[in-house]
Structure 1
Amino acid sequence: MRELDKVDNWIRIFLEKVGYDKWARVLSPNNKYSNLTSDIAESLNSVIIAIRELPICTMLESLRALIQKWSWRNTNIANSTLTRLTNKFEDILKDNYLYSINLTVHPINDVLFEVRNDDRKAIVDIGLRTCTCNRFQLDQLSCAHAIVVLQKANHDPYDYCSPYFTKEAMIHAYEETMFPVGHEDTWEVPENIKSMAPYPPQGRVRVGRQKKRYKASWEMNAKQREQIKCGSCNQYRHNKRTCQNPSLRLA
């Protein structure tokens, strides 16, 4: 939050108003699997932004070729992985292990353990696979507190990680083959399809989708934020959605 205060003091007020459960993953009532934004969709859109302008047949073939390329690349990555987990989650587990070296464990019973780090402490339940730091159950990966407990209890931390993070799961995800379509002359098209005449859709042609994403206020520099004008109260530095006037703010 201190880093956000350096960008704009109003960000803290906005985040506290919408509620911690809306943006803090540790307090979210649902498991969001480390994702809080639509960045994955934005990344895909940035890759296919030129492809979307192509004619429909060319566009579909370009998308198919792109998926074929990604499938082959990810299959090779999975097959070349020498660890039990994929590279990303193996690195996370390694960082958790390094952090766990300085932790001390105080058993409570067979499944409950208290983990201390100076004046901080966490309670780990290896039966329910939970930790009061919440990372164990949210990440579905052994957190630092869980790792030191599992080592003391002679359990393998890998056994307490989600199977979706394993090398075998990644190989299975890309095991299907993306076959080329081939030249149009080799296509076997049923006669009833050949006889169909495609017509353009009737009605008014709608405006195409927005290609450029609008920046949020915290992504702009000071000069750009000064130029934002609210359509409700006519004040600057915010828009209708973030207007502080309760009688004018949009639902």
Structure 2
Amino acid sequence: MGEFYTTLTEIRSINQRCADYLVDIGLQHWTRSHFPGDRYNIMTSNLADSWNSVLRDAREYPVIPLLEFIRKKLVSWFTSRRDAVKDVDAGLTPKVNSLLAASFEICGGYDVRKLDNDEYEVQDLRGASFVVSLTDRSCSCFEFQKLSISCSHAIADALKANVRVEGLVGDVYTIEYLKAAYAEHVSPPVELNTSNQLADDIAAISLHPPVTRRPPGRPRKKRFFSRGEVKMKKTHRRYCSRCKGIGHNRATCKQAI
């Protein structure tokens, strides 16, 4: 939590209006530290953007082939993730293991003092002090309880108390939960040979094309930007094909031939 306010102070020193805007829209909408629920250490982006890239060519397909393309893509993703952990019996996910390893490296010089049977005071290399409770799985830095992943202060505390660090991590980060997330599969659609296999009210429907006119001009390929989203301008350096210089082109080149 302290790191967040330090960063916000830096933003305010650079641009006060920008800092005011971030505060006015609500800290819970764009920060992990103030989010009321559980984000599991993930800052999600617009899912439509990710699929927009995957469906770059498939967007031109008719509806049924497009849906089949999406189904096959999901099957491919689920299979690759399922195969990646099929030989792992227990433990934590690779991402969480890497986070713990990074915290292990920086907590070696921490000073740990026992306050009572449950709480410890941990002083980091900068001299800042934090209170850790392994029983409540909490730390005054708020990272431990917000992410359900041991922060560096909690790891230093666990090493002092001879507590297994992996046991302090939330169950949702275990291999068992990862396997369960991809245990199901996306089944192919059932082939219907005759209309007798359909419900009567569905079989009686006669589909017609929509009563719309095609708009003039070429269909739009690029997506519409969300409210408040700013398109980043691409900057290109000019290169002169005549003198090979930078900052001008052949038409404005003033170098002697």
Q: TM-score, normalised by structure 1?
A: 0.71
Correspondence 1:110 to 2:117: yes
Within a 5 Å distance, the mapping from 1:1-251 to structure 2 comes to 1=7, 10-81=17-88, 84-117=91-124, 118-181=126-189, 184=191, 187=192, 191=196, 193=198, 195-200=203-208, 211-214=222-225, 220-221=232-233
Distance 1:174 1:22 in 2: 29
Between 1:209-218 and 1:167-176, the stretch displaced more is: 209-218
Residues 39 and 147 in structure 2, CA contact (< 8 A), matched pair in contact too: no
Distance 1:56 1:72 in 2: 24
Distance 1:96 1:128 in 2: 20
Between 1:120-129 and 1:193-202, the stretch displaced more is: 193-202
Distance 2:213 2:135 in 1: 58
Output the amino acid matched with 1:108. Answer: L
Residues 91 and 174 in structure 2, CA contact (< 8 A), matched pair in contact too: yes
Between 1:193-202 and 1:169-178, the stretch displaced more is: 193-202
Aligned partner of 1:241 in structure 2 is: none
Distance 1:155 1:204 in 2: 68
Distance 1:190 1:121 in 2: 72
Q: TM-score, normalised by structure 2?
A: 0.70
Output the amino acid matched with 1:43. Answer: S
Distance 1:6 1:103 in 2: 31
Output the amino acid matched with 2:62. Answer: P
Distance 2:95 2:118 in 1: 29
Output the amino acid matched with 1:162. Answer: G
Residue 204 of structure 1, CA deviation:
6.1
Residue 209 of structure 1, CA deviation:
10
Q: Computing the radius of gyration over CA atoms, which structure comes out larger, 1 or 2?
A: 2
Query: Unpaired runs of 5+ in structure 2?
Result: 1-6, 236-257
DSSP 3-state at the match of 2:113: strand
Cα distance 1:75–1:150, how it changes in 2: closer, same or farther (>3 A)? same
Output the amino acid matched with 1:74. Answer: R
Residues 119 and 132 in structure 2, CA contact (< 8 A), matched pair in contact too: yes
Q: Deviations over 1:42-76 (max 9, x none)?
A: 22332234434422221221111111101110011
DSSP 3-state at the match of 2:136: coil
Residue 161 of structure 1, CA deviation:
0.8
Query: Unpaired runs of 5+ in structure 1?
Result: 224-251
Distance 2:220 2:141 in 1: 42
Q: Deviations over 1:131-171 (max 9, x none)?
A: 11111011111111111111211211111111111112111
